[in-house]
Every structure is written in structure tokens, then in C-alpha cells.
Amino acid sequence: MEGRACAPTKGSPSGGRAEEVTDPRLWRKVWRALGTKYYGSPESRAFQQLYTPETLIVRLRPEGVFFWDYSAE
């Protein structure tokens, strides 16, 4: 950016270990939350066509999180 003005930006990249959710109770909780958030209900036909009982749900265990905020002078 050297000397040029830029739009206000914020960021938060993260890294870590990805692991499969194998606990059936947690898997159902995440599955229901996805259906509710993106389809209005986990009973939605469109949701159930995409997210079947064979759907792999992955959790990120963060090991490094970085933040930056260039929105303020």
C-alpha cells in the first residue's frame, strides 16, 4: 500500500487442527443449527437433500489467531 490511501479493513485469519465431529449429540446440534440458520429449519427439504446423515462435519481447533484493524486512523 506504500503511501496510498486504502479503505478501512479488518481481518482475522486463523489456523489450527481440523477434526471430524464424531459425537452424535454434537453432530445433531451442529446439523440443526445449520438447517435453522441457512434454511429456516432443519426440516427444510432443500436442507435435507444437501445435508444427509452421511454429511461430514468438521471442527477447527484454533492454534493461531491473528487480528488486524485498519479502520481507525
Total tally of structural domains belonging to the chain: 1
Residue 43 lies in a domain: yes
CA distance 35 to 48: 8
Does the global pTM surpass 0.85?
A: no
* E strand map for the chain: 10-11, 14-20, 58-65, 68-69
CA distance 13 to 60: 12
60 lies in which domain range? 10-69
Residue 63 lies in a domain: yes
CA distance 65 to 58: 18
Residue 40 lies in a domain: yes
Q: Give the pLDDT of the chain (73 residues) as one tens digit per residue.
A: 466 666 777 777 778 899 999 999 999 999 999 999 999 999 999 999 999 989 999 998 888 777 777 776 5
Residue 2 lies in a domain: no
Dihedral angle over CA of 63, 22, 32, 48, nearest 10: 120
- Amino acid, single-letter form, for residue 46: A
Residue 46 lies in a domain: yes
